[in-house]
């Protein structure tokens, strides 16, 4: 018995290897998506270090993060990578392990990389597929907050993946799509028949279209050029249509105040989505105004289902929105959700999804 035991991996080592892999995968998901550094699984790394007397846990984390193929091709911001590697080096130097050259070499590369106004975030889906978004480093840029991904959009995307039957083989209209996270997730994983992205700011629409192409939702150059020349919308901007193998996709410039009832009726949306579009009372009024323009159920046309995701930063704004809904007799209910944390939204944020009955 003792002779056989010497040929087996000791239980402590087996446990350490499993923990090392789990910790590295936790860092991978968070790092690729640019998750807040404080929310990365540092505690799990500390746990792994109890089992390890060398630098292998740090090398495993490096391989899953900075050296990951997605990070190499579509990297997080220079500042994010610098801060991440500095923290990893600090953790490593607090151990008795031999210096790990790869850590310092990686930091050297980042320190010699010029800062840019844009970065990439990569979101891993349960299927193994990934969503890659190019977004702005600054929260406010070019007069808009629409060039980054917000927590409510991540939360709504997660809910959509858990409730794909809401979207399967249906026509979806998203209001205030921003740079596309929620819609791209639904197009990749929920099998809608058609998805209509919409926003108002020109630079947001441009970035959104680029992100669709970045995720394999491509548009032939000739048809793109022809549409740009021949089919500007009613405000002089461009509506771009893309067609995937399974989902018909369009990007539309939509001004909530100017769009007509007829224009909205022609979209024939089965489901309407919006995330993080209500952050002051004036915008709440504009959103309710556009919702009132959608067709009501008259026997021929079904009323669309409406889902709005909020990050409740100011309870007064949220309650004001509910009061405005009541005033115009739009019914609402809170959608029951479960926190799976597939996407790296702030776990402490107060995010809710309302289903509206227009």
DSSP, collapsed to helix, strand or coil, labels residue 163 as coil
List, for residues 126-160, the tens digit of each pLDDT value.
888 999 999 988 664 444 444 568 899 999 999 99
Residue 100 has pLDDT above 50, yes or no: yes
- Three-state helix/strand/coil letters over 78-147: HHHHHHHHHHHHHHHHCCCCCCCHHHHHHHHHHHCCCCCCEEEEEEECCCCCEEEEEEECCCCECCECCC
pLDDT attached to residue 110: 97
Average pLDDT over residues 344-355: 90
Average pLDDT over residues 175-200: 95
DSSP, collapsed to helix, strand or coil, labels residue 195 as strand
CA distance 142 to 343: 27
Ordered by start, the domain boundaries in the chain are 12-116, 119-222+246-357
Determine phi and psi for 26, rounding to 5 degrees: -65, -45
pLDDT attached to residue 14: 59
5 confidence band (pLDDT: 50, 70, 90): very low
Total-model pTM: 0.85
**For tokens 């009501």, what's the residue?**
296
Mean pLDDT (the chain, rounded): 85
Residue 8 has pLDDT above 50, yes or no: no
- Greater confidence (16 vs 347) lies with 347
Can you read off the two tokens belonging to residue 321? 């929105």
Determine phi and psi for 297, rounding to 5 degrees: -65, 115
- Greater confidence (264 vs 237) lies with 264
List, for residues 158-187, the tens digit of each pLDDT value.
999 999 999 999 999 999 999 999 999 999
CA distance 63 to 31: 12
CA distance 161 to 167: 9
Residue 59 has pLDDT above 90, yes or no: yes
List, for residues 204-247, the tens digit of each pLDDT value.
999 999 999 999 985 433 223 223 333 333 333 444 555 445 78
- Greater confidence (283 vs 335) lies with 335
CA distance 178 to 199: 7
Helix ranges restricted to H, 171-313? 181-189, 202-214, 221-230, 261-267, 281-291
Contact 291, 356 (CB under 8 A): yes
The rounded percent of the chain whose pLDDT value lies above 90 is 64
16 confidence band (pLDDT: 50, 70, 90): low
pLDDT attached to residue 218: 54
CATH code for residues 119-222+246-357: 3.40.50.150
């Amino acid at each position: 018995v003792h002779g056989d035991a010497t040929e087996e991996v000791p239980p402590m080592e087996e446990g350490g290897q499993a923990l090392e892999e789990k910790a590295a995968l936790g860092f991978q998901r968070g790092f690729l998506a640019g998750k807040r550094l404080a929310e990365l699984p540092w505690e799990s790394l500390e746990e792994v270090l109890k089992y390890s007397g060398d630098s292998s846990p740090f090398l495993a984390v490096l391989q899953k993060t900075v050296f990951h193929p997605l990070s190499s091709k579509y990297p997080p911001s220079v500042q994010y990578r610098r801060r991440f590697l500095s923290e990893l080096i600090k953790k490593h130097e607090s151990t008795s392990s031999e210096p790990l050259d790869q850590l310092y070499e990686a930091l050297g590369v980042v320190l010699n990389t010029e800062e840019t106004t844009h970065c990439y975030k990569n979101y891993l889906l349960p299927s193994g597929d990934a969503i890659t978004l190019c977004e702005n480093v600054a929260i406010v840029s070019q007069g808009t907050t629409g060039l980054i991904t917000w927590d409510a959009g991540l939360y709504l995307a997660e809910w959509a993946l858990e409730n794909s039957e809401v979207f399967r083989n249906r026509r979806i209209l998203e209001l205030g799509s921003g740079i596309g996270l929620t819609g791209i997730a639904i197009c990749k994983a929920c099998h809608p028949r058609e998805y209509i992205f919409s926003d108002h700011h020109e630079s947001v629409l441009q970035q959104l279209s680029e992100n669709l192409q970045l995720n394999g939702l491509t548009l032939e150059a000739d048809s793109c050029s022809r549409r740009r020349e021949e089919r500007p919308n009613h405000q002089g901007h461009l509506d771009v249509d893309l067609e995937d193998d399974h989902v018909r996709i369009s990007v539309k410039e939509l001004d909530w105040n100017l769009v007509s009832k007829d224009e909205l009726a022609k979209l024939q949306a089965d489901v309407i989505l919006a995330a993080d579009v209500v952050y002051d009372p004036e915008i709440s009024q504009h959103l309710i105004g556009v919702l009132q323009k959608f067709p009501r159920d008259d026997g021929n046309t079904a009323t669309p289902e409406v889902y709005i995701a909020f990050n409740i930063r100011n309870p007064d704004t949220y309650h004001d929105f509910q009061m405005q809904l009541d005033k115009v007799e739009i019914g609402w209910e809170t959608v029951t959700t479960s926190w799976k944390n597939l996407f790296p939204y702030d776990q402490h944020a107060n995010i809710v999804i309302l289903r509206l009955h227009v």
